Amino acid sequence: MKIASFNVNSIKARLPRILHWFDEAKPDVCVLQEIKCIDENFPASEFEDRGYNVEVFGQKTYNGVALLSKHPVEDVIRGVPGFEDEQSRYIEAVILPEDTDPVRVGGLYLPNGNPAPGPKYDYKLAWMEAFTAHAESLLALEEATVLCGDYNVIPEPQGVYAPDKWREDALFRLETRQAFRRILNLGYFEALHHLKPEPFYTFWDYQGGAWDQDKGLRIDHLLLSPQAVDRLVGGDADRAVREPNSGSKETKPSDHVPVWVEIA
């Protein structure tokens, strides 16, 4: 089972490119971030025609997440349980394949937090605290669980092209990295960090020639419970999707690339 995460930076603006990647990569499950539309405006039929069940937690203009699965889903959750939030940033469901055990998949778009310090950074840390509590509760279920998405966290210096320039950014501040580490310390496994030990990135800004100069960040992550790690086959980041001519020449790519793991 191929489980993917993709911050699309507007489903409407990049739909041809997104569908091109879906047709090539053929994920069994994919969570999308920054769809930037309300539920009714999500192009569900485009994915249903490709065999996907569609669950959306949208928001006008900003944020918004969706979960797409070729297998039946149940126990759909929208929003981090116990956390009052006006923004649509988290969706979760149990995936029910016919020929193997279920997998619980959570898709998140963690707050950016800039400028830091300040109210937006306080919101980021509060969101992470609530998410950590939920992640801990999921471990108690002893299920194969994959929590993936745009974490807006650079976990270590090799995840950014110029660490010294990013020390006080909300994505790389010490408090942010400590909060991310607390999630891992619960017992989660950061899959791509171990599968791809060499430095790699999942995000490149549109400005300043970031793509051409490979000035990237690694902020999209897949965290696996022990039961999911036992079934882990492989994973990668589809860097080629960020190429300007990849998929559709009419629209520019997202500033993120898809990341994925394969679960036996």
Active site residues: 109, 150, 256
Residue 150 among known ligand-binding residues? yes
Omega before residue 81 within 30° of 0, cis: no
CA angle 176, 178, 182 (to 5 degrees): 115
Sign of CA dihedral 213, 248, 234, 28: positive
- From CA 227, how far away is CA 217, in angstroms rounded? 29
Q: CB under 8 Å to 66, separation ≥6 — which residues?
A: 11, 31, 32, 35, 42, 54, 55, 56, 57, 58, 91, 107
Is 212 one of the annotated binding-site residues? no
Is 92 annotated to bind a ligand? Reply is no
Does 194 count as an annotated binding residue? no
Name every residue whose Cβ is closer than 8 Å to that of residue 84 and which is 6 or more positions away in sequence.
Answer: none
Binding site, by residue number, is: 7, 34, 150, 152, 255-256
Binding site for Mg(2+), by residue number, is: 7, 34, 150, 152, 255-256
